[in-house]
Structure 1
Amino acid sequence: MGAPGIFALPRASLRWLPVYLRNLRVWRKLALASVVGNIADPLIVLVAFGYGLGRLLPEVAGVPYILFLAAGSLCMSTMTAASFESLYSAFSRMHVQKTWESLLNAPLELDDVVLAEWLWAATKSLFSGVAIMAVVWVLGISRAPTLPLALGVVVLTGLCFGAIGLCFNALARGYDFFTYYFTLIMTPMIFLSGVYYPVSALPDWLAPVAGALPLAAAVELARPLVIGEWPQDWLRPLATLLGFAGGALYLALVLTRRRFAA
């Protein structure tokens, strides 16, 4: 069986599983440091802004500010973890350590490696999301019966940003390239996606643009669940996350095939 063309759809198989398990075994050696590193920033934001700014701004959209912020921190933590894994870690395995080239000497295709990296990035983000949810529960910020359902949003968010990260990974020639992604894409997205304040507070011309962002869709789905409600308009943000995840994964496959074919 030959390698697929650059624009071919991925072939369905389970050959990605050994690559995924390989990443899992390597990660287990540094699991604690990895999880702490991924959740430190959103946890500091949650505690500092939630309790600090929350004293000056008791409520936002009718709920305590720290509860409002909890959903945003949950999604931001998931996005950050998935992005770091699909950028820095995947790039190290692909370009620096040449792990991908070694794997391709086995009966694997490049698609198998990319799919494994994608699913592994989503798994790493799930660990971070669960850690943030545990903190939210332990601190009593939210103990709503719908809170566990937010794990579904965490999984979708991880899949979405893992795929987006792999697109930039395929284009990168060095670690410095990722500064553009974090500075020009992730940081503005955080401020536009309802993490710290409602999207409705943005100017009329900017709110529709912000509402179409994948992080905004994740926050829109997660916030009612964290508060203890069911998302009312859930179909649109769900379709946004699925669309970004599927489209970015296909683009990542195309860009990665093109890079290895060069």
Structure 2
Amino acid sequence: MRAFEIMVYRQIKRFLRARSRVAGMIINPLVWLTFFGIGWSRAFRDPSIFGGVDYLTYLSPGIFAMTVFNQSFVSGISVIWDREFGFLKEVLVAPASRKETIAGRIFGDSAVATLQGAIILALTFFIARINIFGVIPALGVGFVLAVAFSSFGVSIAARMRSMEGFQMIMALVMLPLIFLSGAIYPIAFMPAWMKVLALLNPLTYAVESSRVLLTGVSGIFPLDQSLLILLSLTALMLYVAMVSFERSTVE
């Protein structure tokens, strides 16, 4: 467990030292809430569309999940960065389990992403009607989501050698996953083929669970089913990441 603890500590410390990253993770979700949420909330004045709540309240859990998703997925870039500057080589030759090492890295990045989500969630109390008793469970959902997409990012990055290539994949994957998650508008409004894709998206179940906990608005699945699906997908993605990293090499 020593390697696991060291990697968790390293990822948290790296984040806290990167002031521009801390500022960016606060500003970006606030831009969405301000220019997207407030603007569209004026257009959607019928609360029945969003389960009986105003659009800003409906959107807030989605922004929380988006924040965690974005930061955790982006953390996969640092695997390529470490390969470029030699740290990955030191990790791979260290007398420690590779699976344990990358699991520590993933959990460290997930803790950072969840912290970012918590900050954004705290700020939404000023503009949305959030259930305070659902905050702690929602943060738990956020952490599971972060583990899922940190693992996903690591699985991709472990097979790549180019940071530019990873960024291209990010641009290709991130926005579709967000729009297919129900974070911005209800899945019920989607055409049938989009609904099928939404059901394959792990982010969907995190958004739905967070929305139930924070606003009481029910989703397409009961809360317990959404959580079970999210946990199952997360366990699978973590396993794939650990195996992918174990097989990776440094050229």
TM-score clears 0.5: yes
Partner of 1:57: 44
Instruction: Flag the 1:142–1:35 CA change in 2: closer, same or farther, 3 A.
Output: farther
Letter in 1 for 2:88: W
Deviation of 1:168 (Å): 0.6
Deviation of 1:38 (Å): 2.1
> Does the 8 Å contact 1:74/1:132 carry over to 2?
yes
Q: 2:122 aligns with which of 124, 134, 141?
A: 134
Instruction: Flag the 1:143–1:238 CA change in 2: closer, same or farther, 3 A.
Output: closer
What does the per-residue CA deviation read over 1:212-261, in whole Å, with 9 as the maximum and x for residues that have no partner?
Answer: 31111111101122214687702222122212211111111222222228
Provide the C-alpha distance between the structure 2 equivalents of 1:106 and 1:212, rounded to a whole number of angstroms.
37
Provide the C-alpha distance between the structure 2 equivalents of 1:104 and 1:171, rounded to a whole number of angstroms.
14
Larger helix proportion, structure 1 or 2? 2
How many residues in Structure 1 have an aligned counterpart in Structure 2?
246
Q: Counterparts in 2 of 1:169-208, with a 5 A limit? A: 169-208=157-196
Instruction: Flag the 1:27–1:179 CA change in 2: closer, same or farther, 3 A.
Output: closer
Letter in 1 for 2:33: L
Q: What secondary structure does 2:249 align onto?
A: helix
Deviation of 1:160 (Å): 0.9
Unaligned runs of 5+ in 2: none
What does the per-residue CA deviation read over 1:130-178, in whole Å, with 9 as the maximum and x for residues that have no partner?
Answer: 11111112x1413423331211111111111111111111111111122
Q: 1:80 aligns with which of 35, 60, 70?
A: 70
> Does the 8 Å contact 2:67/2:116 carry over to 1?
yes
Q: 2:149 aligns with which of 153, 161, 169?
A: 161
TM-score normalised by structure 2 residue count: 0.89
What does the per-residue CA deviation read over 1:98-118, in whole Å, with 9 as the maximum and x for residues that have no partner?
Answer: 112223454323223211211
Instruction: Flag the 1:245–1:222 CA change in 2: closer, same or farther, 3 A.
Output: same
Q: What secondary structure does 2:14 align onto?
A: helix
> Does the 8 Å contact 1:83/1:121 carry over to 2?
no
Partner of 2:5: 17
> Does the 8 Å contact 1:100/1:113 carry over to 2?
no
> Does the 8 Å contact 2:208/2:218 carry over to 1?
no
Matched, 1:67 2:38: no
TM-score normalised by structure 1 residue count: 0.86
> Does the 8 Å contact 2:205/2:227 carry over to 1?
yes
> Does the 8 Å contact 1:38/1:80 carry over to 2?
no
Partner of 2:223: 234
Provide the C-alpha distance between the structure 1 equivalents of 2:250 and 2:15, rounded to a whole number of angstroms.
29
Matched, 1:258 2:251: no
Provide the C-alpha distance between the structure 1 equivalents of 2:119 and 2:98, rounded to a whole number of angstroms.
32
Unaligned runs of 5+ in 1: 1-12
Percent of pairs identical after alignment?
25
Q: 1:48 aligns with which of 31, 35, 45?
A: 35
Letter in 2 for 1:109: S
Letter in 1 for 2:156: F
Backbone CA RMSD of aligned residues? 2.1
Deviation of 1:189 (Å): 1.0
Following superposition, which runs of at least 4 residues in structure 1 exceed 6 angstroms of deviation?
229-232
> Does the 8 Å contact 1:49/1:66 carry over to 2?
no
